[in-house]
């Protein structure tokens, strides 16, 4: 990780960062052309972009390298979940891309997360985030997988497990972020997806959502926003509105 990434990642603490350091725009798009077209529209406004599985599987490491060469920070959202040795190998494999953040699934267990943390100990490796419970899941969805507890209870269980395994950050919804912040302390990087602009009707396929202002007020470090920006008639205007919400929070 170069000095720019270190400096940017260090500004994620809520008390120190600017709005643009706290907004991650999700490039959940099917092609490099579509993704870079959106990046061009948001040039000068946004500093962070998320590369998820859809775009990564289409473009590979090249899209991460390209974004880094243009001066952006990259959240590589691959949600790694496999046996410890395989996940550790994957962490090592993507470390050369220059991504600042990388997700693994906390549901993979403590041994898997410890292996990932050890693989990410090298200077150039991304900071790891453990995904707790997907924001698309509500209590009935969890129950169908055999988890009888509420989403908040499960999120807190996995958050503490990840912290014990040496994972420095977490992904959770805004509905749990306040409780997670209290449980894991101020040093943890808490990234919150499922953010919708104030006044938005509907939540797409997200079950646990909140506005940007609500998420920040509850203790989120950074926010991930996708369709409210990427599918807006004017993505630049939509991003500006969310940045204003963050600033107002």
Q: At what angle do helices 61-69 and 32-42 cross, to 10 degrees?
A: 20
79 counts as catalytic: yes
For residue 153 the two structure tokens come to 């209870």
Break the chain down into helix, strand, coil percent, rounded to 5: 50, 15, 35
Q: In angstroms, rounded to a whole number, what is the distance separating the alpha carbons of residues 30 and 40?
A: 16
For residue 89 the two structure tokens come to 């190998």
Q: In angstroms, rounded to a whole number, what is the distance separating the alpha carbons of residues 53 and 79?
A: 8
Query: Considering 79, 111, 127, 237, which one is annotated as catalytic?
Result: 79
Place of tokens 């599985």: 53
Phi-psi label, residue 162: left if phi above 0, alpha if psi -120 to 50, beta otherwise: alpha
Phi-psi label, residue 194: left if phi above 0, alpha if psi -120 to 50, beta otherwise: left
Write out the catalytic residue numbers: 79
């Amino acid at each position: 990780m170069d000095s720019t990434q270190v400096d940017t990642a260090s500004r994620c603490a809520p008390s120190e960062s600017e709005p643009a350091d706290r907004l991650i725009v999700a490039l959940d798009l099917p092609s490099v052309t579509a993704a870079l077209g959106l990046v061009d529209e948001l040039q000068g406004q946004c500093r962070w972009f998320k590369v998820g599985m859809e775009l990564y599987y289409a473009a590979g490491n090249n899209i991460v390298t390209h974004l880094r060469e243009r001066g952006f920070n990259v959240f590589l959202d691959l949600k790694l979940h496999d046996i410890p040795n395989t996940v550790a190998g994957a962490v090592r494999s993507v470390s050369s891309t220059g991504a600042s953040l990388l997700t693994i699934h906390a549901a993979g267990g403590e041994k898997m997360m410890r292996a990932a943390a050890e693989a990410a100990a090298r200077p150039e490796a991304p900071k790891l985030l453990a995904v707790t419970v997907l924001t698309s899941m509500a209590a009935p969805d969890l129950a169908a997988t055999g988890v009888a507890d509420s989403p908040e209870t499960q999120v807190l269980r996995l958050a503490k497990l990840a912290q014990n395994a040496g994972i420095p950050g977490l992904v959770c919804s805004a509905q749990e972020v306040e409780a997670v912040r209290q449980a894991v302390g101020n040093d943890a990087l808490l990234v919150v997806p499922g953010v919708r602009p104030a006044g938005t009707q509907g939540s797409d396929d997200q079950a646990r959502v909140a506005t940007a202002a609500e998420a920040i007020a509850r203790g989120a470090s950074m926010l991930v926003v996708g369709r409210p920006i990427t599918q807006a008639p004017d993505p630049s205007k939509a991003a500006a509105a969310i940045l204003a919400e963050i600033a107002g929070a």
